[in-house]
Homo-oligomer: A and B are copies of this chain.
Amino acid sequence: MPTIYEVSKLAGVSLATVSRVMNNTSPVRESTRKKVEAAMAELGYRPNSIARSLASNRSDSIGILVSELHGPFYGAMISSIEAEFRTAGKHVIIAAGHSEEATERDGIEFLLSRNCDALILHVEAVSDEYLVQLKAKEIPFVLINRQVPQLQPQCISLNNKLGGYLATQLLLRQGHRQLGYISGPLWKTDAQDRYRGHQLALQEAGLDWDPKRLFEGDYHEDGGSAGIRYFLQQGIPLTALICANDEMASGAMTEAREQGLFIPQQLSIIGFDNVMLSHYTYPKLSTIDYPIAAMGQMAARWVLKEVYQQKQPELQLVFEPRLIERDSCVVLPQP
């Protein structure tokens, strides 16, 4: 691997000049620039990014921590983040936090140790205080899908409450009055918010809220099937079911069918997130769109603007969910 030194020798200029033509950080006479470029080409010179980082104190790398690397959700997010940074010549280092406090901390620690210029975090288990303390340290970061009051300007999130509201509203509009709700783990703020939106919609419709109609799931398929079994065993009559994410909706759909219910004729089901799988179920799942790709891209732009001082169009911090009507929710059949 040729170094900048060999380039400078071949071109008959100094190290500094070669550096200048690479970074055009100060004017260089056209003729010498040509010489240098020729020398670089001849040697097949490629700058050593490590040396550059050490000298410039930037690594051009951004750490990303998500709960899981697989799963439909994070893939879309990482994908849009990577694309945005790639065109900006930055690269992305990834780590998984597995929704566990210790692992999330480890992951952050790990990324910090890698001298990332910035972090994009999708963390769930770590406390608000931890994040506030983190801000005190040197590395800038954005939070995705999390609101920390003291960190407002660096939180990119979805209006989850509105999502829960929209889902419930659809079913009410379709005439359903006997609703069930399968939530995510209620220690997660998004699970809480979605559920609050549900309650709000009920309240606005003048319906009263029955705690027995809530089942706390786990955001996985099992949560959905367990929820169905719960409602059936308790003898709670249901014509429609809201699941706080698509995976649970799929689990619920499968279990309901196994229990002999026709979907959607006997039970309307709506999910949340609009991940790929909502496409694959039968009937196709009605759901609430979570614009995760757009949010990932926005997180990347936040970094480009705040950390690398690139000019960017106005940043958007809060995103709105959208109702996606497919085939799993129908107007309540008149008896």
Is A82 at the interface (CB under 8 A from chain B)? Answer: yes
> Which of B46, B50, B83 sits near A59, CB closer than 8 Å?
B50
A63-71, A144-152, A175-183 - the one binding chain B? A63-71
B110 to A91, Cβ gap below 8 A?
yes
Given A50-B59, A74-B75, A280-B250, A96 and B113 touching (CB < 8 A)? no
> Which of B93, B112, B276, B279 sits near A93, CB closer than 8 Å?
B93
> Which of B1, B78, B113, B280 sits near A46, CB closer than 8 Å?
B113
Given A93-B92, A280-B250, A281-B281, A78 and B70 touching (CB < 8 A)? yes
Is A212 at the interface (CB under 8 A from chain B)? Answer: no
B276 to A257, Cβ gap below 8 A?
no
Is A94 at the interface (CB under 8 A from chain B)? Answer: yes
A40 vs chain B, min Cβ distance (A): 13
Question: What B residues does A159 contact at CB under 8 A?
Answer: none
Is A221 at the interface (CB under 8 A from chain B)? Answer: yes
> Which of B1, B91, B276 sits near A277, CB closer than 8 Å?
B276
Q: In the complex, A59→B53 CA distance in Å?
A: 12
> Which of B83, B93, B254 sits near A96, CB closer than 8 Å?
B83
Q: Encode A140-166 as 1/0 by CB contact (under 8 A) with B.
A: 000000000000000000000000000
A86 to B110, Cβ gap below 8 A?
yes
Is A76 at the interface (CB under 8 A from chain B)? Answer: yes
Q: In the complex, A86→B94 CA distance in Å?
A: 10
Is A188 at the interface (CB under 8 A from chain B)? Answer: no
Is A262 at the interface (CB under 8 A from chain B)? Answer: no
**Which chain B residue lies CB-closest to A103?**
B86
> Which of B48, B70, B82, B138 sits near A115, CB closer than 8 Å?
B48
B46 to A50, Cβ gap below 8 A?
no
A278 vs chain B, min Cβ distance (A): 9
Is A51 at the interface (CB under 8 A from chain B)? Answer: yes
Is A282 at the interface (CB under 8 A from chain B)? Answer: yes
Is A72 at the interface (CB under 8 A from chain B)? Answer: yes
Question: What B residues does A110 contact at CB under 8 A?
Answer: 86, 91
Q: In the complex, A83→B72 CA distance in Å?
A: 18
Question: What B residues does A138 contact at CB under 8 A?
Answer: 1
| Interchain Cβ contacts under 8 Å between A and B, 15 examples | A46-B112, A49-B114, A49-B115, A68-B79, A69-B75, A69-B82, A70-B79, A79-B96, A83-B96, A91-B95, A91-B114, A254-B282, A257-B282, A276-B277, A277-B280
